[in-house]
Structure 1
Amino acid sequence: MTTQKSIVPHKATHPGTLIKDELEARPELKQKDLAKEIGVKASFLNEIIKGNRPITADIAILLEEALEIPADYWMKFQSQFEIDKARVKEKNINRIKNREIWKVIKEYVPVNYFKKLGYLKDSLEKDIPAIKAIYNVSSVDDLVTTFAGHKLSFYRKSEKLQVDEKNMLAWSSLAMYEAKQQSVSAFNPENINQLCQKLNTIFFENDNTIEKVKSTLNQFGIKLVQIEKLDKTPVDGFSFWSENNPAIALTLRHKRIDNFAFTLMHEIAHIYLHITTNKEKSFLDLTLKNSKDVFESEADQFAQERLIPEDCWKNIKSNKLPPNDDKLLEVSHNYQIHPAILLGRISYEMNHYALKTEIDKRLN
């Protein structure tokens, strides 16, 4: 709601301008004659007209007699001028302060990314609070501290990756911000097997997959956000606790059903195995995983087992690897598993990602 206080003029208007207007409207009344009539020197009146002197109560009464404009009007005009002048000064101070704050923000925030996504409106008065909200900080000092802490913890796990720390923090902060805006059903970890079964059906059908997955996750109390990737942000998924629910953020860098299914199931594993028991934990899963990380190994194993049951995988391994497309489609039909998911596991086990195949891997 717009309040009187929020309406700040570009420039405060002195009541002397009204005297000038009255003189122009009354050509028979000269400035020196008005000065004589109210008993002041012409130079004194000229200073009031220029806005260099205030209209006092005594002058207001004299102007009331000379111009037939009530004294209280002159006093209200003078009072409003003083208030507006103070607000204009405050506004200018804030404008300078905001520019200084914005200089710091640009060092730690990829502002063009947020502008492209529509979060920034080219107004520092609106954009600074928007950045604070996204990064969940109350001041620019908090932003700098958050950046330093994030950079330190991140480099402990990503020494081999080319990473833009500013972009990575922006991506994860936006993921948490967007998740916070969502409201979903209550989460019950005991329903995880039922959730995985429903997801596998969606993966197999691969039709409007992302929307169906999001709806299903929400029904089971898990938030899902898709965040557009930035340059040098080699992240596949991010799992964390948001308000009263677990949340998953994905980049969908590879729009393939096998990559999508595995990444999603991997993050669900983190939720089920690690985050539910410790809501302070979060997992920013990178393209290059640390094979020695117990949490990542556990999540990988969970995802593999939920996507492809052990008996199905034994069936595949009993044949010569890699199987031809006809065999893959046969196994896919029998177990109701998308063939690209089977092929993805085979490629991983063989460490060979350029297998000749006609299997459609597109995420639909």
Structure 2
Amino acid sequence: MAYATPPPVDHPGTFIKEELEDRGWTQADLSYILHMDVSQLNKLIKGATSITPDTAVALGDAFDMPAEFFLNLQQLYDLHRTRKADPGVKARAAWVSKFPVREMIKRRWIEDAEPDLLDLQMLRFFGKNRIEDIPFVSDAPLLAHAARKQDYAGTTELQYVWLNRVRKMAEQIECPLYSEEALRKNLPSIREHMHLKDDLIHIPEILHKSGVRFVLVEALPGSKIDGVCVWLGGQPVIGMTLRLDRIDNFCFVLMHEITHVLNGDGKEFSFAPVDSDTGNDVAMDCEKVANDEAAEFCVPRALMDSFIARKSPFISRDDVLSFAARLEIHPGVVVGQIQNRTKKWNWLREYQIGIREYLLEWKHKDGWGHFSPTGL
């Protein structure tokens, strides 16, 4: 990042010397006027001592100028000298004003380093050659052709950092070439593994065999992000946060991102819209399609409509268990969809079980106390 070098600032003694020359006074004349020892005045003019408030008042009276002028000269000089003490302050402030640098260091995505090395690490982290090309730091667009994709503008700085961590991790994963045919063929198998929480860990491997890299990266605080589909040279990557730690959310978000992969959403921009609860992504057509496909995949709409019509408004626990068993999917997924339709978020919450501990057995993860190589 470019940092302006402040112009040199002379000691106030330089101004006093020039003023003496303009007035035709000697140092002895000024020492007499100020009632100050000549050697003491000489030290002040040479910059060996500083102007005090008392001296500033005396100089103001002697030269018929405001005392504040001399105090300001001294303050500017002192600030100029102090500014040289730590050149990294401005560099760190510039990055911290845009990105969660301290959190990135805490998670070992970058190292705590001197300004030049910090700049270099941030460039490599974002995969850019120039700081001017990094979105949020400059006027660089978030995506190519961003003017025609205004809906992407909802992506925040935190989300952009997170998805770049997903990208850096994915770059280090060896994976077969992506096959849309193989992925579609494996969808029934993926759904079968949504029946039991212990089976969820097999899903990432199924994706990998289809040519889809799958990484888990803990969400950055405040990012409100669930997942994303990233493209690396035409190869898809699915990144997830497991932020809500519920089986219904995992199944829905996973299929949401798989739909992006199958439809090639975001392929020309490097990533599809970030899946979050910020409310900015639902306006895009591809997001609506992904939402509908994910819901249909987990629980077919026609069957859900029929179930609710027959059982509502008094849907019992046994009704849900029987319905889920018939669909061969975990009851928590059914509960999640019914909650979403009825807006009764506390209904049968005991079936929205946590699944993070099972999925963290996956080798490609970052966060939750696990640290992956930075790739920088």
Q: Answer yes or no: same fold by TM over 0.5.
A: yes
User: In the alignment, what sits opposite 2:334?
Assistant: 342
CA gap of 1:139–1:294, structure 2 versus 1, over 3 A, is: closer
| CA deviation after TM superposition for structure 1 residue 291, in Å | 4.4
Q: Distance in 2 between matches of 1:325 and 1:147?
A: 54
- Given that residues 240 and 248 in structure 1 are in contact (C-alpha distance below 8 angstroms), is that contact kept between their aligned partners in structure 2? yes
Q: Does 1:136 align with 2:156?
A: no
- Given that residues 270 and 283 in structure 1 are in contact (C-alpha distance below 8 angstroms), is that contact kept between their aligned partners in structure 2? no
CA gap of 1:117–1:215, structure 2 versus 1, over 3 A, is: same
Equivalenced residue count is 266
Task: Write the letter of the residue equivalent to 1:307.
Answer: C
Gapped regions of structure 1 (runs ≥ 5): 1-95
CA gap of 1:202–1:351, structure 2 versus 1, over 3 A, is: same
Task: Write the letter of the residue equivalent to 2:287.
Answer: E
- Given that residues 225 and 249 in structure 1 are in contact (C-alpha distance below 8 angstroms), is that contact kept between their aligned partners in structure 2? yes
Q: Distance in 1 between matches of 2:104 and 2:333?
A: 34
User: In the alignment, what sits opposite 2:258?
Assistant: 268
- Given that residues 247 and 332 in structure 2 are in contact (C-alpha distance below 8 angstroms), is that contact kept between their aligned partners in structure 1? yes
User: In the alignment, what sits opposite 2:159?
Assistant: 168
State the secondary structure of the residue aligned to 1:133: helix
Task: Write the letter of the residue equivalent to 2:344.
Answer: H
| CA deviation after TM superposition for structure 1 residue 123, in Å | 3.0
User: In the alignment, what sits opposite 1:198?
Assistant: 189
User: In the alignment, what sits opposite 1:242?
Assistant: 232
User: In the alignment, what sits opposite 2:80?
Assistant: none
User: TM-score normalised to the size of structure 1?
Assistant: 0.63
Q: Distance in 1 between matches of 2:270 and 2:218?
A: 25
- Given that residues 180 and 243 in structure 1 are in contact (C-alpha distance below 8 angstroms), is that contact kept between their aligned partners in structure 2? no
- Taking only aligned residues, the RMSD between alpha carbons, in angstroms, comes to 3.3
Q: Distance in 2 between matches of 1:108 and 1:265?
A: 32
Task: Write the letter of the residue equivalent to 1:332.
Answer: A
Q: 1:22-41, CA deviations, whole angstroms, 9 ceiling, x for partnerless residues?
A: xxxxxxxxxxxxxxxxxxxx
Mean CA deviation greater in 269-278 or 324-333: 269-278
| CA deviation after TM superposition for structure 1 residue 274, in Å | 3.6
CA gap of 1:282–1:100, structure 2 versus 1, over 3 A, is: same
Within 5 A, what are the aligned runs for 1:48-87? none
- Given that residues 196 and 306 in structure 1 are in contact (C-alpha distance below 8 angstroms), is that contact kept between their aligned partners in structure 2? no
Task: Write the letter of the residue equivalent to 2:219.
Answer: K
| CA deviation after TM superposition for structure 1 residue 101, in Å | 4.9
Work out which of the residue numbers 242, 253, 259 in structure 1 matches 2:243.
Answer: 253
State the secondary structure of the residue aligned to 1:340: helix
Q: 1:157-203, CA deviations, whole angstroms, 9 ceiling, x for partnerless residues?
A: 489x8x8x432221122122222222212211123333321221221
CA gap of 1:221–1:156, structure 2 versus 1, over 3 A, is: same
Q: 1:229-273, CA deviations, whole angstroms, 9 ceiling, x for partnerless residues?
A: 223312221112123411111121100000010011011111112
Q: Distance in 1 between matches of 2:323 and 2:158?
A: 42
Q: 1:271-298, CA deviations, whole angstroms, 9 ceiling, x for partnerless residues?
A: 1124387565522122125544321111
User: TM-score normalised to the size of structure 2?
Assistant: 0.62
| CA deviation after TM superposition for structure 1 residue 302, in Å | 0.9
- Given that residues 125 and 164 in structure 2 are in contact (C-alpha distance below 8 angstroms), is that contact kept between their aligned partners in structure 1? yes
Q: Does 1:106 align with 2:93?
A: no
Task: Write the letter of the residue equivalent to 2:102.
Answer: N
Q: Distance in 1 between matches of 2:152 and 2:135?
A: 21
Q: 1:301-335, CA deviations, whole angstroms, 9 ceiling, x for partnerless residues?
A: 11112112356425523422352111111122222
What fraction of aligned residue pairs are identical, expressed as a percent?
19
Q: Give the structure, 1 or 2, with the largest relative contact order (CA under 8 Å, sep 6 or more).
A: 2
Gapped regions of structure 2 (runs ≥ 5): 1-85, 359-376
| CA deviation after TM superposition for structure 1 residue 225, in Å | 1.6
